Every structure is written in structure tokens, then in C-alpha cells.
Structure 1
């Protein structure tokens, strides 16, 4: 997903265009990492000094619901990133310090379970946390 696709999706779903929404989407597109609501607030404060956490959280929730953003939780905090461009089944390595992610092409669940009898897996999430080379 890119900025234009995200804005088009908002429009197609009947949501109003605002400069704040576009700026939030641009921040995620630029940063390419998991970010907290506080980081987004700090990023946007210079251009929108009256922006509130409520506005940030409302839009993060909307963007997640529309699959513009992905969310996860680490360091006891919910974090968000632009939805992954990879549409195939995959998982991520996530840096605990900077929030950058790396695409993991294999699925560890395949080796653990294979195709279990009498159970249909509809979804799962597997994330590996650590430190990228720059943050070590």
C-alpha cells in the first residue's frame, strides 16, 4: 500500500479527507517502521499544535480497521506500521529499539504443525523481536 492507495481507500469507504489523516499516513509511509501513538503525536505537533491523543488513537483505529496500518504490541505498548506490501503469507523480525521490520519468508508454524487433522487454521501471527544491526 502507498499513500495514494490509502487515501483512495478512505475516500471509497466514505471517510472524510483531512490534512491530519493524510499527514499521519505520510509519516508511516516515510518511516517504514512500527511507531507508537506518542511518536505519531510528537511527529505531528509542529504542524498541528492542538492535535490530541484522542484524534491520533481514533485515526490509528480507523486505519487499522481499513488495513491501511498493521498493529502489534511490544515493550508493553501498541505499535503501528504501514501495511506490508507483501501479500503472500509471511512474518516479521521486529527491532525493539527502532521498530524497523524485516520480512521473514518462511512460516515457523508449518514446521511445527504441518496440516493438523480435524482443525482448520484461519489466521495466526508470528513475530520475532530483537535488535537490528544498526541498534545492536
Structure 2
């Protein structure tokens, strides 16, 4: 048996609407939103009395980001919201973009904070931004 693909990445959030709007502005499309609850959900994820709202977003090439807002049990925050990139755990998501300056301007208008940017040799221009709830997104524009 071999790995076929990655279906999605889960991000647990508190302000589902703000994070959803952030990723939609970045260029993902909302595929659907639903609320899940009950013993089968709890058994799957190892929690009791689960109730959560899920929003599934897709990149233009079909990769998924699932945003979950837990209503019960309440989500638990580990560490500071603005943890640095070298903190343990999943720290950032990277997207390939066209016209990084335009993307940065749009995302700043949506509350994103620029962490830093650089030109990597003559192949990529990179930028790290911090969005709602401290989510770090890397942007990569391939040089012409």
C-alpha cells in the first residue's frame, strides 16, 4: 500500500469567520461548512460530547484546509498566539502565488502582518505573514 495524496490540513480556530475570510481573500474557495457532533465524531477524534463547526477550503489545485471551531469541548490553546516559527508543531503553510506584492497588499488590508521577506537566489521571492489567530502563511513567487 502506498500513499496516494494529502487531502487536507486541519487548523483549529476560535474566530471561524475571520480565519475563513482570511483564506478566502488569499485565494482559497469555500467548499462547504457543516456542524458535526455525537458519539461517532467523539470516537474518531478521542473526545467526549463533541460539537464543532467545520469549514472546508480548497486551493485552486484542489488541496484542502479544514478549519474547525470547537463549541464542545472548548478548544485549548497551547503557547502564545504569536509563537515564532521555530516553535514545536505545525508552524506555517506555504502557497505559491503570482504577483507577491499584490497579494501582500491585499492580505495587509485583511489584517495580515508581514513577518519578513527575502529573495532566494534568482529563483523565488518569499514572504512570511501572520494572519488571524497567529496563523503563519508563507508566500512564494517564482522568478521569471
> Going by fraction, where is strand more abundant, 1 or 2?
2
What TM-score range do you get, normalising by the shorter chain?
A: under 0.3
> Going by fraction, where is helix more abundant, 1 or 2?
1
- Structure-1-length-normalised TM-score: 0.25
- Structure-2-length-normalised TM-score: 0.24
